[in-house]
Structure 1
Amino acid sequence: MLKPNWVKEHDERFPGPNRWEHVVTHPTVIEAVARWAAKKMQGKGSITLCDAPQTDSSFARIREYCGLDALLARLRNDFPGVAISTGLPGDPLGNTHIRLDSASEFVGYRGQGRLYGASYDVAETNARHNGTHHEYLLCRTPMDADVFINLPKLKTHKKVGVTCALKNLVGINANKNWLPHHTEGIPDQEGDQFPSATTRARLEHAWMGAAKRWLNNRPGASRLFVPIKKVGRLVFGDTQKVIRSGNWHGNDTCWRMVLDLNKCFCFFDGAGQPRKKPLRYLAVVDGIVAGEGNGPMSPDPKPCGVILAGTHPVAVDCVAATLMGFDWQRLRLLKNSFQIRELNFVEVRPEGIEVISNRPAWAGRINEMEETFNFRPHFGWVGAIENNPRALTA
């Protein structure tokens, strides 16, 4: 299975067919990897290209803008013995229900009961995560794959700092509202929705919370949430300028969910049972035209002309973050990857990560990388994660 980043058909700020290269995995990268994999299969087997885009995205437009039909036609013509598919309406194999329970990174987290998922139905999110009860619903096709090739986009991210191999697994979920994204409240209340208790933040929390509860009790009125959000933005400020919804470096929720997903994927198969053989995994990161600033949905293009590849998601992400000009040890997602209590899928150590590159300044140990692209972080992360080495231009 090949798992691109197909989160959205365009930059959220600029809808249209020519605004996607810095948002999703480039089809040339997808095709190159698919061809490499198909050759290895020697005329038999199957390759599935799949992702679960954001709920308000249009896969039809992703397919159109990225030329996926022509891509598939070329692959099928050149590899007739390999079944190659994408764009299915749901997972034909169904779902995989995983209960991590005491092995979850949310065990002991004091924000439980106020977790916010992917929609205003917070009751559903918190029903799946409380005490030592923690569960996820994943698509079965990736869980059953003999080989999983992760094809993330190199971008900044508003909730975890960077989105790369680890975060790309959000796209294998069957119900994203089971995924806690932030915790309602401020840090003094064990929350991370807002960084501080300003009058505006208190009013927004109360007003939007009441609106969400009202809508949750009236399923037929859910279509009203979009205009309500628009009114909220006018009153409380635009999300591109105002920190809300855990979109800052103090988010102590989302990294836990991402590590949990990787635990589910590494340790369980499609039947929800412990894997009998190790997962065969490869990550190939598209950094040709990366995304900086307000990622993942509204990043600015960052031409880098780089491809990263590796066999462990944490090693890949640490190198990617360093190459972006960030201190990976200031990113909770990466720092805490090396401190997992149960179901530890990170057998590597930071000092053991070695970079092999055609650029001498990057080759060697991760802490020896001398030149970076100095990405601009999401505005909620500015000043919290940057390194200051010599800048590099593509």
Structure 2
Amino acid sequence: MENNILSNGLVGIYENRDVNKYFEEAPFNPSEKYSEYKFKDCISLSKNYIYSSVRECLKLLNLDIKNYNKENWNPLKTIIKPGDKVVIKPNFVLDKHNYGGNIWSIITHPSIIRAIVDYVYIALNGKGHIIIADAPQADCDFNNFLKISKIETIKKLYKEKVNFDIEIYDLRQVRYVVNHHGFLDSNSRIYQNGDPLGYEVVDLTSKSEFSTLNNYDKIYGADYDRSETIKHHTKDKNEYCISKTVLSADVIISVPKIKTHRKAGVTLNLKNLVGINGNKNYLPHFQIGTPENGGDEFPQLNNKQKIVFYTNRKLIDKLLARPNLIKDKIYGTSKFLYKFIKKMLKINIETKNVISAGNWYGNDTTWRMVVDLNKILIYSDKVGNMRNIPQRRFISFVDGIIAGEGEGPLIPDSKPCGIIACGFNPYVVDITLTKLMGINYKKLKKFQAINKLINFRIFNCDIDKVVIKSNNSRYECLLKNDSDKFLQFKLPRGWRNKIEL
């Protein structure tokens, strides 16, 4: 079985700019009886452009092209064989857009997953496992996500038609419920079973991108208790809590959304792997403070802002890192008193528009954990030992039908692009689509770091050998075209005028 993740520089981009919305009729059946399609009695009367776009993207890559439009067309047969465990890793980060925007500018649409599942099933020849799995953001309501996405209808279809089980997993160990005051109190953490197979703690030791960090005591994860994050990342130990379902997979299919990202610039395949980690506090996101004191949380603060934010940090460390009912009350009262005094004394301290939480181009933390997770996906064996050769096969389908721009990844503006992209290497697909977004990928630290890797390389080929196939000829030369700004995505506030083409 071909395993060419490190050297395959082929990318397909299928564009249909007339498609500016998703196909919503679950279980997202195709609208044509394609020769290779297995459920000829399940055809939509409405035109399903999403299914046909995925199919056309596979055709662009010349996969099993000699059998195209024949009953035995099997485009994924060089990646997937009968009996394989195939894990589909979408981007299911949230169940709602917190500013009332389009949720499909945030998460992977299930109509794309349905088409992928159909071609995976063809390659498996009915023998093997298909698991759709992700660890969404901690405050995502997964039951509500299942309701709005209707993704379980795909599972039901396969069970009823061919008695084939498709599993859908929420890989998180902990779910957060933010209280009505806007912070996590002693009742906010709901512990879950997470991955049915459990987790492996994978230690990259000195091979981690954090091995060159100087301020381990400043890193911040996803919860108020920074001690847990600091415990997993030291000069000699850099640990991640990785899903055993993912590690036991023969094939990973990444299905990210094209989005801008406030901490990483862009999020595509590389950043999508945050969702293979079950405990968010293993993931450093920024270092507290400003650059002048060794942090990357804020670009800068004036003296009044420092008093507010640094005092709040001390209160969080003292009261919310290990909360109880008394500490909850003290912190809530402190917030109320601050707002009351500020209003009564008419103190003018601008905090609302401060760029915080590492949401800017100077973030020197997030890219490190992103590169680390990609090393693990490629090289970690089933029990968490790092090997010298890739351990599983990989393919990516990227959802750019409706992309997210602006303050992504959680509150982006919708950007209809009508694009499905496909490829075999996460780095190659990501630099291609980053440039398509109108962003100079060479200015992003994660791409710079991947180019310099000696151990656990993610791409082993020359960028000049990347081949892009598209129905839009303008895109086929995009990596060599430095004069076109292409789709010109609007960037997050902390990244503007820093990384554009």
TM-score by length of structure 2 reads 0.72
Moved segments of 4+, more than 4 Å = 221-236
SS of 1:302's equivalent in the other structure is: strand
Does the aligned pair in 2 maintain the 1:354–1:365 contact within 8 Å?
Answer: no
Q: What code does the residue aligned with 2:125 have? A: Q
Task: Sort the Cα spacing of 1:34 and 1:343 in 2 relative to 1 into closer, same or farther, 3 A.
Answer: same
Amino acid at match of 2:272: N
Q: Are the counterparts in 1 of residues 201 and 242 from structure 2 also a CA contact under 8 Å?
A: yes
Q: Is 2:441 the partner of 1:358?
A: no
3-state secondary structure, aligned to 2:470: coil
* Cα drift, residue 224 of structure 1: 6.7
* 8 A Cα contact 1:153 1:163, kept in partner: yes
AA paired with 1:313? P
- Check whether the contact 1:35–1:75 (CA below 8 A) recurs between aligned residues: no
Check 1:227–1:150 CA distance in 2 against 1; reply closer, same or farther (3 A cut). farther
Q: 1:225 to 1:360 in 2, by over 3 A?
A: farther
Answer whether contact 1:115 1:184 (CA < 8 A) is retained: yes
- 8 Å CA contact retained: 1:352, 1:365: no
Say how many residue pairs are matched.
381
Tell me whether 1:284 sits opposite 2:397 in the alignment.
Answer: yes
CA distance in 2, matches of 1:101, 1:29: 37
**Residue in 2 aligned with 1:326?**
439
Alignment counterpart, residue 124 of structure 1, candidates 211, 225, 228: 228
In 2, Cα distance between the equivalents of 1:149 and 1:192?
33
Task: Quote the residue 1:259 is aligned against.
Answer: 371
CA spacing shift, 1:277–1:243, aligned 2, 3 Å: closer
Structure 1 contact 290–301 (Cα < 8 Å) conserved: yes
Structure 1 pair 124–306 and aligned structure 2 pair: CA distance change class (3 A): same
Rounded to whole Å, the distance in 2 between the matches of 1:68 and 1:112 is 40
For the residue of structure 1 that corresponds to 2:263, the secondary structure is coil
Greater shift, 335-344 or 322-331, is seen at 335-344
Distance 1:207 1:126, change over 3 A: same
What whole-Å deviation, never above 9, does each CA across 1:317-350 have from its counterpart, x for those lacking one? Answer: 1011101010001111222211124322221333
Report what 2:382 is aligned to.
Answer: 270
Call closer, same or farther: CA 1:44–1:119 in 2, change over 3 Å. same
Using the alignment, how far apart are the partners of 1:230 and 1:44 within structure 2? 57
1:285 deviates by: 0.5
**How large is the RMSD of aligned CA atoms in angstroms?**
2.3
Please say if 1:245 is aligned against 2:357: yes
TM-score, normalising length: structure 1: 0.90
Residue aligned with 2:493, SS: coil
- Match among 481, 484, 495 for residue 368 of structure 1: 481
Q: For 1:43 and 1:295, locate their aligned partners in 2 and report how far apart those are by CA, in whole Å.
A: 38
- Higher relative contact order by CA 8 Å / sep ≥ 6: 1 or 2? 2
Q: If you compute each CA radius of gyration, which structure gives the higher value, 1 or 2?
A: 2
Deviations 1:269-323 (A, max 9, x none): 2211245764200111000000000000000000000011111111111011101
Is 2:224–2:321's contact at 8 Å kept on the other side of the alignment? no
Alignment of 1:217-228 (within 5 A): 218-221=322-325
Structure-2 separation of matches of 1:226 and 1:296: 29
329-338 or 251-260, larger mean C-alpha shift:
329-338
The whole-number CA distance in structure 1 between the counterparts of 2:329 and 2:285 is 22
Measured after TM superposition, the shift of residue 205 of structure 1 is: 3.2
Look up the SS of the partner of 2:107 in the other structure: coil
The letter for the 2-side match of 1:198 is N
Q: Which moved more, 1:186-195 or 1:276-285?
A: 276-285
* Aligned twin of 1:206: 310
| Superposition deviation, residue 364 in structure 1 | 3.4
Moved more, 92-101 or 187-196: 187-196
Change in Cα spacing, 1:228 to 1:158, as seen in structure 2 (3 Å) is farther
Q: Residues 224, 327 of structure 1: CA spacing in aligned structure 2 closer, same or farther, 3 A cutoff?
A: farther
Change (3 A) 1:225 1:362: farther
Which range is displaced more, 187-196 or 211-220? 211-220
Q: Is 2:147 aligned against 1:71?
A: no
Seq. identity, %: 34
Cα drift, residue 217 of structure 1: 5.4
1:164, 1:285 within 8 Å by CA — same for their partners in 2? yes
Match of 2:91 in 1: 5
Check whether the contact 2:95–2:140 (CA below 8 A) recurs between aligned residues. Answer: yes
1:230 shift after superposition: 8.0
* Structure 2: unaligned runs, 5 residues or longer: 1-86, 171-192, 343-348
Using a 3 Å threshold, how does the CA distance of structure 1 residues 310 and 342 change in structure 2: closer, same or farther?
A: same
Give distance in 1, aligned partners of 2:486 and 2:295. 33
| Residue 140 of structure 1: how far off its partner (Å) | 0.8
Q: Aligned AA for 1:158?
A: R
What is the CA-CA distance between 1:77 and the residue it aligns to?
Answer: 3.3
Residue 390 of structure 1: aligned partner:
none
Alpha carbons of structure 1 residues 284 and 109: separation in structure 2 relative to 1, 3 Å: same
